Structure 1
Amino acid sequence: MRLRDRMFLLLGGTGGIGKALVDSLVQEGSRVVVASRHPESIGHREGVVPVSLDLAANDLDQQLERLTEAYPDIDGVIHCAGQNRFAGLAMMSAAELGAQLDVNLRSAMLVARHFAPRFEKAGSSAMVFVGSTFGSIGFPGYTAYCATKFGLRGFTEALRRELADTSVQVIYIAPRATDTDMNPEAVDALNRALGNRVDTPEAVAAAIIKAMKRDQRRCFLGWPEKLFVVINGILPRVVDKAMLKQLPVIRRFLYAKTES
C-alpha cells in the first residue's frame, strides 16, 4: 500500500496508539484527518486536520456524509477507536455495554458501509481496522471488550471476502497488551503479575505502518500471543486450563477495588 500523498481518515487518533499513528503517517508523507469528539485537543500541525465526529452517536451515518462532503479526497480509513473496562460482567451497566458495542463494533460497520462503495468507485483505497489479541482469545474481566473485538475480527474477515474482487483493501491488525492511558493501574499490575509483555504505542504504530506497506490482510502482533491465538482456535481447552490456573490472580486484581 502506498502511503505518500494519500489522505487517511483516522478514527481514534487521540488515544495512545492513535497519536503514535498520526506521527508515523505524517512522517510517511500522508495527510491525516483526525476525527474526535474533542477535536480541539488534537491541535494544529502540518499535514493534520482535526474534525468533529462522535462514533457512538445515533446519527453517525449522517456525520460521515458531512465529513466526506468536506473532505472528498479521503482515500483510506484507519479505525483505531476503542473503549474497554476491566470488570466482571455483573459489575458493568447496560450503558457501559452499549458504549463498547457502539464504539468498538457498530461504528466500524457503519464506517465501512459508508466508505466501501465510494472506495470501490475510486479504484484504489484501503480500510484498516485495529482489533486486539482479545478478538481471538476470551479473557476474564474483558467479556464485553472481547465480544466486540471478536465481532470486529469476524466482520473484517467477511468484508474482505465480500470485496475480494474489488480494489478495496481490508486489513485487520491485532495488537497485544499496549501501554496506554486506557489501562487502569489494576491492569498494569495484572500484566506485571502474569508476566505479560506490554508494547509501547510507538511500537504498535510502527507495526501497523509496516503491515499497511506490505498489504497484510491480517496481522497479529507479539510473541507468544500470536501462538496462543492459533492454539485457542484449534485446541481451546488447552487455553481454558491455562486461564483456570491464572484465574485466582486475575480475580485478585479484578475485584480489588470493590473489596477494599
Structure 2
Amino acid sequence: MRLHDRVFLLLGGTGGIGKALLDALARAGIHVIVASRHPERVGHREKVSPVCLDLAAADLDQQLVRLSDAYPDIDSVIHCAGQNRFSGLENMSVAELDAQLGVNLRSAMLVARHFAPKFEKAGSGALVFVGSTFGSIGFPGYTAYCATKFGLRGFTEALRRELADTAVQVVYVAPRATATEMNPEVVNELNRALGNSVDTPETVASEILKAMENGDRRRFLGWPEKLFVVINGILPRLVDNAMLKKLPLIQRFLNGGRLL
C-alpha cells in the first residue's frame, strides 16, 4: 500500500515505538491523528492532529465513534500502545492484570470492531497491530504480557481470515526486545546478562512501515528470535529446556537482582 495516500490513526504515539513511527510519518508529510491520554505531549507539527483517547476506558467504543465522526477520512490504524510489567505472577495486582488485558488486547479488539466495517465499506483500509516475540514464546516474568500478546496474535490471525474476501489489510508485526522507556533498568540488565539483542524504536518503526508498504500479513523481527518462534511452535520442549537453563538468572532479576 502507498503510505502517502493514507490518513493514519496512531495509537500509542507518544513514546517508544509509537513516537518513532510518528516521527517517520511526519517527516514524510503524511497526515497522522495521534490518539493518546496525553495529547499535549505530541507537540505541534504540520499535518499531525493530537486527540484525547483512553484505551483503558470502559467507554472506549463510544470514544471511537466520536473520534471517527471528527476525522471521517481515517483509513489506516496503527495500534502500538501497550503496557507490561516484569514480575512474577503472584506479585501482580488484579489492577495490573486488568490494565494489560485492557490496553494490550481489549482495546485492539474494539478498535478493529469499530474500523473494519468502515474500511470494508470504503473498499480499502489497513489495521496494523504491534505485537511481540512474547506473543509466540512464553517468557518467565511476563506471564500477563505474554497472555495479551498471544491473544493479540491469535486475534489478528482470525480477523485477517475473517476479512480475507475484502480489501482490508490486517498486519501483525512482532518486535523483539526494544529500547524504550517502558523497560525498567532491571529489564535492561537482564537483557545484557542474557546476551539479548535490543533494537532501537526507529528500527522497529521502519520495519512496521515496510510491512505495510509490502502488503505483509505478518512480520517477525530479529534473528535468532524468528527461528525461536518457529522452533517453539514445532518443538516447544526444546525451548522449555533452554528456558530452564536460564531460569535461575531470570529469577535473580525477578527478585531485584538478588541471588536466590
Indicate whether the TM-score tops 0.5.
yes
- Give the distance between the partners of 2:28 and 2:234, measured in 1 at CA: 38
CA pair 259-94 structure 1, distance change in 2 beyond 3 A: farther
Query: What residue identity is the alignment partner of 2:11?
Result: L
Gaps of 5+ in 1: none
- Give the distance between the partners of 1:47 and 1:229, measured in 2 at CA: 38
- Give the distance between the partners of 1:123 and 1:202, measured in 2 at CA: 31
- Give the distance between the partners of 2:257 and 2:238, measured in 1 at CA: 30
- Which residue does the alignment assign to 2:120? 120
- What's the secondary structure of 2:183's corresponding residue? coil
Deviations 1:117-167 (A, max 9, x none): 000011111000000000000000000000000000000000000000000
- Which residue does the alignment assign to 1:60? 60
- Which residue does the alignment assign to 1:162? 162
Query: What residue identity is the alignment partner of 2:33?
Result: V
- Which residue does the alignment assign to 1:140? 140
How far did residue 259 of structure 1 move?
Answer: 8.4
- Give the distance between the partners of 1:178 and 1:257, measured in 2 at CA: 21
Deviations 1:86-107 (A, max 9, x none): 0000000000000000000000
Query: What residue identity is the alignment partner of 1:53?
Result: L
How far did residue 44 of structure 1 move?
Answer: 1.0
**Does residue 1:86 correspond to 2:67, yes or no?**
no
Q: List, as ranges, runs of 4+ consecutive aligned residues in structure 1 with deviation greater than 6 Å.
A: 257-260
- Which residue does the alignment assign to 2:30? 30
How far did residue 258 of structure 1 move?
Answer: 8.4
Tell me the TM-score normalised to structure 2 length.
Answer: 0.98
- Which residue does the alignment assign to 1:7? 7
Query: What residue identity is the alignment partner of 2:252?
Result: R
- What's the secondary structure of 2:5's corresponding residue? coil
Is the Cα–Cα contact under 8 Å of residues 139 and 146 in structure 1 kept in the other structure? yes
- Give the distance between the partners of 2:209 and 2:247, measured in 1 at CA: 35
- What's the secondary structure of 2:4's corresponding residue? coil
How far did residue 171 of structure 1 move?
Answer: 0.3
- Which residue does the alignment assign to 1:219? 219
How far did residue 257 of structure 1 move?
Answer: 6.5
Is the Cα–Cα contact under 8 Å of residues 179 and 201 in structure 1 kept in the other structure? yes
Aligned residues between the structures: 260
Is the Cα–Cα contact under 8 Å of residues 126 and 168 in structure 1 kept in the other structure? yes
How far did residue 28 of structure 1 move?
Answer: 3.3
Moved more, 215-224 or 4-13: 4-13
Is the Cα–Cα contact under 8 Å of residues 75 and 125 in structure 1 kept in the other structure? yes
- Which residue does the alignment assign to 1:178? 178
- Which residue does the alignment assign to 2:242? 242
Gaps of 5+ in 2: none
- Give the distance between the partners of 1:11 and 1:201, measured in 2 at CA: 15
- Give the distance between the partners of 1:233 and 1:28, measured in 2 at CA: 38
Root-mean-square deviation (Å): 1.2
Identity between Structure 1 and Structure 2 (%): 78
Is the Cα–Cα contact under 8 Å of residues 3 and 28 in structure 1 kept in the other structure? no
Tell me the TM-score normalised to structure 1 length.
Answer: 0.98
How far did residue 256 of structure 1 move?
Answer: 1.5
- Which residue does the alignment assign to 1:190? 190
Query: What residue identity is the alignment partner of 2:59?
Result: D
Is the Cα–Cα contact under 8 Å of residues 5 and 31 in structure 1 kept in the other structure? no
Query: What residue identity is the alignment partner of 2:249?
Result: V
Query: What residue identity is the alignment partner of 1:221?
Result: L
How far did residue 47 of structure 1 move?
Answer: 1.6
**Does residue 1:72 correspond to 2:72, yes or no?**
yes
Deviations 1:168-200 (A, max 9, x none): 000000000000000000000000000000000
Query: What residue identity is the alignment partner of 2:145?
Result: Y
